[in-house]
Amino acid sequence: MKRKTVFTGTIVVLLLSACSSYLTSSENVGKTKKPYEKILVVGRSKDNTARIKFENSVVSQLTEAGVKGTASHAANKIIDLNKKYSEAELATLKKTLMASGYDGVIVTNLINTEEYTDVIPGNTSTAYVPTRAGRFGRYLVYYPVTRWEPDQLRSGTKYVFESSLYRLTEDSGDNLQWIGRFEVKDPSNLTNTVNKYAKDLTGALVKSSISIEN
């Protein structure tokens, strides 16, 4: 009987990284889960296409989870992302949002871009090969042949994002409810990247900060 065991380190690491979450850290500042009537989704980006795709994807994920959301790009220009608001203007903006039915806002920012180098550990490949023992039989004995794969270096660009959930109806002190940090390495497809980010973000919020009312 022939047995063969093969481990390919590079493929395993790539598969694991493809399935892993972008979320690297989170803090449930509000401590408890709370329900929301309508959440405004804001993705700060100089790339308008990326912003629209991201906001729409988060809204879609929220809807799927049972939470009503609206993309800021489609909210009648209620927020100007190119404007630097004063404290007084922010207070007015908050009242405007609440008057429009919003009790929550999700804001996502790109906070850093950096180069990275990952070490992909080498692994082994072992195959059991038959050996010929004289004329008695061709496959009398099996012996292992092991090959060692060296470590590999993978370099690229890492984008670090931060997403925050604010509760507008919070009267006392700060209204930050949840904050999380996300790392995206070498995004090659915009749609796939924003969809995965949106899914990770919404999943984390529903798990720890947003209460779903049945």
Query: Could you give the angle at the alpha carbon of 182 between the alpha carbons of 177 and 183, nearest 5°?
Result: 170
Q: Residue 31's CB: how many other CB atoms inside 10 A?
A: 9
Mean pLDDT of the chain, nearest integer: 83
Give strand pairing partners of 41: 71, 106
Cα distance between the two ends of the chain: 57
Characterize the bridge pairing of strands 23-27 and 176-185.
antiparallel
| pLDDT score, position 197 | 96
Give dist(CA 60, CA 70) in Å, integer.
Answer: 9
Domain coordinates of the chain in residue numbers?
A: 22-118+154-208
Range ranked top by mean pLDDT from 16-30, 78-92, 149-163? 78-92
| CATH hierarchy code of domain 22-118+154-208 | 3.40.50
| pLDDT score, position 37 | 94
| pLDDT score, position 188 | 85
| pLDDT score, position 131 | 56
Q: Mean pLDDT throughout 165-177?
A: 87
pLDDT confidence band for 14 (50 / 70 / 90) = very low
| pLDDT score, position 10 | 31
Q: Is the pLDDT of residue 12 over 50?
A: no
Residue 54 vs residue 155, higher pLDDT: 54
Q: Mean pLDDT throughout 76-97?
A: 90
Q: Is the pLDDT of residue 95 over 90?
A: yes
Share of the chain above pLDDT 90, in %: 54
Give dist(CA 67, CA 35) in Å, integer.
Answer: 9
DSSP letter for each residue of 121-175: ---EEEEEEEEEETTTEEEEEEEEEEEEPPPEEEEEEEEEEEEEEEETT--SS--
Which helix (H) or strand (E) covers residue 177, if one does?
strand 176-185
| pLDDT score, position 214 | 61
pLDDT confidence band for 24 (50 / 70 / 90) = very high
